Structure 1
């Protein structure tokens, strides 16, 4: 997300990219498969499990959560969006 703003402008988000230290409340940059591949998304971790995470990624519907892989930038299946 660096370099997306004007010159010298920093990213307005602070992300946790270390899947080993993920905790509820962390902001993450996540990816989506399919037609949305390549676009960065921002979400908040609401659950952290050994093999996956649950991400609140829709600011218009905080009850909607997506299941993502537990890696530095979680991967969410497009069918969940």
Structure 2
């Protein structure tokens, strides 16, 4: 994402915003229902017909969040 970093820098992430093409290992931007539109970054661990399972990253290596299958998956705040 161009212009998302500091001056002259781009965002270090390449997101997949196309739920039809989601696959395991994709980096996604996801939302949490209790945190308004605050963006989070995660990696898809599982992709199912109507939901995905997201890993929030290395700071929480055992965490797994179930999210909706949409351009920016929504995770229920009770899972966090």
CA distance in 1, matches of 2:37, 2:6: 21
Question: CA contact under 8 A between 2:46 and 2:54: conserved in structure 1?
Answer: yes
Residue ranges of structure 1 left out of the alignment (5+ in a row): none
Instruction: Name the TM-score, length of structure 1 as normaliser.
Output: 0.89
Offset, 1:17: 0.5
What are the equivalent positions in structure 2 for 1:1-81 lying under 5 Å apart?
A: 3-34=3-34, 36-81=35-80
Offset, 1:64: 1.1
CA distance in 2, matches of 1:2, 1:37: 24
Secondary structure class of the residue paired with 1:50: coil
How many corresponding residue pairs? 80
Residue ranges of structure 2 left out of the alignment (5+ in a row): none
CA distance in 1, matches of 2:69, 2:27: 13
Question: CA contact under 8 A between 2:43 and 2:57: conserved in structure 1?
Answer: no
Aligned-residue Cα RMSD (Å) equals 1.5
Offset, 1:75: 0.4
